[in-house]
Amino acid sequence: MLCDNCGKREANVRYSENINGMRKELNLCEECSKKLGIGKMNFNMPIDFSSFFGDFMQDFATPEFMPLFNEMKALKCDNCGSTFDDIVNTGRLGCANCYDVFEDRLDPIIKRIQSSNRHVGRIGKILDNKIEKRQRAKEDVKDIKDNSNNELQKLKDDLKLAIKEERYEDAAKLRDEIKKIEKDDKQK
């Protein structure tokens, strides 16, 4: 990663600040960090931290001391033999099975980088929109049929009432409307 300030040298200092909930991060090279007054320390340290705790931790490397740590350290992909350390160091997964084996560790990383751990893609969004439109159209047709069925049932109820009250002229008009609606429904 290049320095955010000069853009020329490799960044080896990470500066972050959090002021009133606003987080700001900078990746700087050694020279730019000194110019900006960030981290007034000498980066050429004589201590080799890779072996600093080496002898100390060898006494506790037994499975009885930290069984969970040793299980995670021993976790390998069944298919390609990759470990999580291999994935971190190379930035690549060994095979498709690695996604399943290391899922609990990869999911938070992928979510943080891409804001989601599932890929939809451009075509997926287009298809989703078409599917939604079709569903809305089907619902609209269903609503129209429900409305016409409700209207038809209301007319039939009015017809029965008109016959019961001996209003035969109204009943004849209602009968004609019912026949017209039923004919239109058959044509659709």
Each domain of the chain, given as residue ranges in start order, spans: 1-44, 64-114, 121-187
- pLDDT by residue (tens digit) across 100-139? 888 888 888 878 777 777 766 666 667 777 888 888 888 8
Average pLDDT of the segment spanning 44-50: 49
Which residues are registered as beta bridge partners of 19? Answer: 22
Given CATH 3.90.320, say whether it is the number of domain 1-44: no
Residue type, position 173, single letter? K
Dump pLDDT digits (tens) for 5-32. 888 888 888 888 777 778 888 888 888 8
End-to-end CA distance of the chain: 65
